[in-house]
Structure 1
């Protein structure tokens, strides 16, 4: 009898990879995932290796590192990363790991440096990653050129910075070109972060994204947000009312005159852009629906621009209005813990206390983020129960969640297949 089994190898997650792939192959379409996908440490490790270390991730905004030597850091699981503006004006990305003995180089979330200097033994790197100094004790034959920082993939478009830890990440250029086009009216080279927040949610990252991808819960959970936000964001939504469709037609005519892109654009199930009106009589996501910033973004002439909604899986959703924008980044911290970072953007010349009040600007999304945190955490607590089993999604209200879970399942299976060990014949 001849059986097939994985060849011996050193991957401690080999069994978990096999179990994950088999579970996804057998999963019931349009249902939530089996319990381990939301709380198991081994499945989380597979997520990190096969999704967060291989896909393109939203990392931050180019306006956060505007000049030579400005840097920002973030952690992709156990992988600390640096993004730095180089002497050439380009954004460079590196593993935040010294090539001497592995210490982190940059210890703060943001800063400005002339060179990248390791705080442990002062090995010094150029902003393009080249090792410049390692001290005289390494010997006269030591080759500086062999110990530059290890780079990561970086692409920028429309003021966004995307990174991938993969040597061969998936194609993203078509989405980036469209993102650049849709954000042209905002002049993203001339924006700044007015205020930001980070909250830790005791929930798996997929629950955070699932919660965002539907507004089924909005009526019962988000009174502040629904002062301005429509529950649906395009006329293809099966719940869209005739009044909403009429409002969309009127606003689209206005946006056309202003040469502002509004058409719904999809790039598979991973990326999506669409401009949709806010509730009639409101122009911004504020408690009173009025503009939060008196200086409009870019070349826009009216605050009444609705919301340009931008989705990028696995870790970002965004709202661009006429007066300000709100961008969101999700990063996993553990099987049942995630951090959600929110940044409010305004025109770089807007003056705090004159053109905008940051506390007023952030109130709606501070409330909404906290409400969503509670929902995701209660979702996690229920899923941890022995009573949990996958439940059905609503095709009417939760089609966005279905798309996300389908994308996740497809990408994870594809990446696992690429990483699968060879098979060997075993006689027995």
Structure 2
């Protein structure tokens, strides 16, 4: 997946960009840059796919599309979660057209080639003498389960994931994500470039003017999200971390050196408990071993595909997938304790209304942002170093990675 002659277009735009400013117009809307983004990032990086609790039983599966690649993630009879290209090895039919479901075997709907849940071809009718079924198993996709968060990677050789694995597994352990269940799922399409969707998430400069429901419990004060290290944050956050330390609840800021991922547990405003209109817990049964209702939110993001909130009473996991230069799929799942009962332990409206509203508000913001950038009058503007530090991290990560991968001399190193 090295660069070709056309990639000089994207590379030159990145080389010309002004640090601390938004990107040039074509990096947000050109077909060439979109293809470069797919080839150099989406087809090479680890991507959050789903929470493992969504496929708790043998044969449970979820499908997704990463650019041109349809993928199926499925739980095998041995309990292991695997991922495969969702393409029959006979004549290329998609094996599973549904977004989710359960099958004891994977049977191609075209000619009934049948695969075991580990990808092995079990049955192919009338293929003649000498046909070797062992050569036609499903093509695997790299797949790891990190404490209940399932990641996939399409690359032949995926990048190292050891550091993320160690940190994420430890931080989400108290939430018992693997022992939760999906209470509700929402998928929307935002008519904006994937970078605009992620940029919008990485700042709360817009929150006061756009998110009245969220701002009842989540502070738009940048000091509540800007942290420089495990001992460098606002006094309120440091006090919260000290309280969590005493309860053996992993909370302090940790991150990748290039800021591809970071996580930290932060308090909600005024010791409120959850992202609800009342500020109180939406679910009576607390997640895992989190000791208090006001433990705040463990916030975790991972470029390019995900941001997440792990609260005492529930968790919200977000996944984005690029569709076109100006379209992005955003999927949100609300997780609760596996034994929590709707109508008894939680009310679905109270659980979901804040982020359903916030997602729709973000969709409108992103779509208007994209419409403005499509104008020939658009030119990059400066980011706020305090309010938009997270956006700067994203754009610096994106530009640094793309510059390295689009430079021929750097391809071997990458």
Q: Taking structure 2 as the reference length, what is the TM-score of the superposition?
A: 0.94
For 2:65, the equivalent position in structure 1 comes to: 75
For 1:322, the equivalent position in structure 2 comes to: 312
Where in structure 1 are there 5+ consecutive unaligned residues? Answer: 1-9, 239-243, 423-428
For 1:64, the equivalent position in structure 2 comes to: 54
Question: Cα gap change, 1:21/1:285 in structure 2, threshold over 3 Å: closer, same or farther?
Answer: same
Q: CA deviation at 1:389?
A: 1.1
For 1:209, the equivalent position in structure 2 comes to: 198
CA contact (8 A) 1:215 1:397 kept: yes
Aligned partners of 2:398, 2:350: CA distance in 1, in Å? Answer: 36
CA contact (8 A) 2:29 2:325 kept: yes
Deviations 1:222-280, CA, capped at 9 Å, x for gaps: 11101000224766838xxxxx9443344333322321111100112100000111001
For 2:207, the equivalent position in structure 1 comes to: 218
1:143 is aligned, of 129, 132, 135, to 132
Q: Taking structure 1 as the reference length, what is the TM-score of the superposition?
A: 0.91
For 2:351, the equivalent position in structure 1 comes to: 361
Deviations 1:304-356, CA, capped at 9 Å, x for gaps: 11110001000100111110111111111111001111111110000000000
For 1:124, the equivalent position in structure 2 comes to: 114
Secondary structure at the residue paired with 2:119? coil
Higher Rg of the two aligned structures: 1
1:373 is aligned, of 346, 359, 363, to 363
Question: Cα gap change, 1:419/1:342 in structure 2, threshold over 3 Å: closer, same or farther?
Answer: farther
CA contact (8 A) 2:187 2:332 kept: yes
For 2:240, the equivalent position in structure 1 comes to: 251
CA contact (8 A) 1:234 1:264 kept: no
Secondary structure at the residue paired with 1:44? helix
Aligned partners of 1:357, 1:415: CA distance in 2, in Å? Answer: 48
2:409 is the counterpart of 1:416:
no
Secondary structure at the residue paired with 2:269? coil
Aligned partners of 1:68, 1:419: CA distance in 2, in Å? Answer: 46
For 2:175, the equivalent position in structure 1 comes to: 186
2:149 is the counterpart of 1:160:
yes
Aligned residues: 407
Question: Cα gap change, 1:384/1:235 in structure 2, threshold over 3 Å: closer, same or farther?
Answer: closer
For 1:6, the equivalent position in structure 2 comes to: none
Aligned partners of 1:383, 1:49: CA distance in 2, in Å? Answer: 23
1:92 is aligned, of 71, 76, 82, to 82
Deviations 1:81-129, CA, capped at 9 Å, x for gaps: 0111112211111000000000000111111111111000000011111
Where in structure 2 are there 5+ consecutive unaligned residues? Answer: 228-232
CA contact (8 A) 1:233 1:274 kept: no
2:286 is aligned, of 296, 316, 321, to 296
CA contact (8 A) 1:330 1:339 kept: yes
Aligned partners of 2:221, 2:109: CA distance in 1, in Å? Answer: 50
CA contact (8 A) 2:203 2:389 kept: yes
2:189 is the counterpart of 1:197:
no
Aligned partners of 2:337, 2:31: CA distance in 1, in Å? Answer: 42
Aligned partners of 2:312, 2:137: CA distance in 1, in Å? Answer: 43
CA contact (8 A) 1:234 1:276 kept: no
CA contact (8 A) 2:192 2:327 kept: yes
CA contact (8 A) 2:226 2:389 kept: no
Secondary structure at the residue paired with 1:385? coil
Secondary structure at the residue paired with 2:163? helix
Aligned partners of 2:64, 2:142: CA distance in 1, in Å? Answer: 14
Aligned partners of 2:275, 2:315: CA distance in 1, in Å? Answer: 9
Question: Cα gap change, 1:411/1:420 in structure 2, threshold over 3 Å: closer, same or farther?
Answer: closer
1:19 is aligned, of 9, 20, 25, to 9
CA contact (8 A) 2:404 2:410 kept: no
